[in-house]
Amino acid sequence: MTSKTSPKMGRPAIPVAERFWPKVEKSAGCWNWTAGRIESGYGWIHLEGKKALAHRVSYELAHGPIPEGLFVDHACHNRACVNPSHLRLATMKQNMENRAGANKGNATGVRGVSLNNSGKKYVAGLCHNGERMYLGSYETIAEAAEVVEAKRRELYTHHALAAQVAA
């Protein structure tokens, strides 16, 4: 990302920050992007003739270039948020560890918790480093969710920070 946009029709270039920050609604927590969003909820802005994701632009304005191969992770889980203090660099593994919510088609609505074949017990499990881990069967969804959350806190490097940022 350069510091200025490309001149259009002979007009002088406008610095990216001057175009970017007026499109942000700042609050005590998340700073929400108020301009265009893609279908998945991430903000976008046209820069140098291309669409750029708003959270990546915000990160670069505040911290500099994003190293190749790294992602900008929303610690707050809000895809519209461009608050630089809610954004951090992450590998693909770390970014996936910080996901929020259950997978599509999960009947329980709780990430890492499913119903067993009889539909009478809740099964807890998660993936770490490509390995699926079975964490047991439980009578209640709350018990299974608690076990999964404790294991995430133990294993995942980017999961525990999300609760701190959301506060």
Give the whole-angstrom CA distance, residue 46 versus residue 22.
14
Kindly state whether residue 95 falls inside one of the protein's structural domains: no
CATH at 5: 3.90.75
75 with 127, same domain? no
**Tell me, what's the pLDDT at 45?**
96
pLDDT tens, position by position, 140-165:
999 999 999 899 888 887 765 444 54
> Which structural domain range is residue 75 located in?
1-90
Residues 124 and 69 in one domain: no
CA distance 69 to 50: 20
**46 and 112 fall within a common domain:** no
Q: How many domains does the chain have?
A: 2
Looking up residue 143, the CATH number of its domain turns out to be 3.30.730
- Does one domain contain both 129 and 162? yes
Q: Higher model confidence: residue 69 or residue 5?
A: 69
Do 107 and 79 belong to one domain?
A: no
Report the half-sphere exposure of 70 (CA within 13 A, side-chain side).
14
Are 43 and 55 spatial neighbours (Cβ–Cβ below 8 Å)? yes
Within-domain flag for 6: yes
Model pLDDT for residues 95-107, shown as the tens digit of each residue: 888 777 787 788 8
Percent of the chain exceeding pLDDT 90 equals 61
pLDDT tens-digit map of 52-84 = 999 999 999 999 999 999 999 999 999 999 999
Q: Are residues 75 and 117 in the same domain?
A: no
* Final residue before a domain boundary, out of 70, 90, 110: 90
Residues 84 and 143 in one domain: no
Task: Note the pLDDT of residue 159.
Answer: 64
pLDDT in tens, 111-129: 899 999 888 899 999 988 8
75 contacts: CB under 8 Å, gap ≥ 6: 86, 87, 88, 98, 158, 161, 162, 164, 165, 166
Residue 120: inside a domain, yes or no?
yes
pTM as predicted = 0.73
Alpha-carbon torsion (133, 155, 42, 89), positive or negative: negative
Query: Has residue 145 been placed in a domain?
Result: yes
Distance CA 68, CA 77 (A): 22
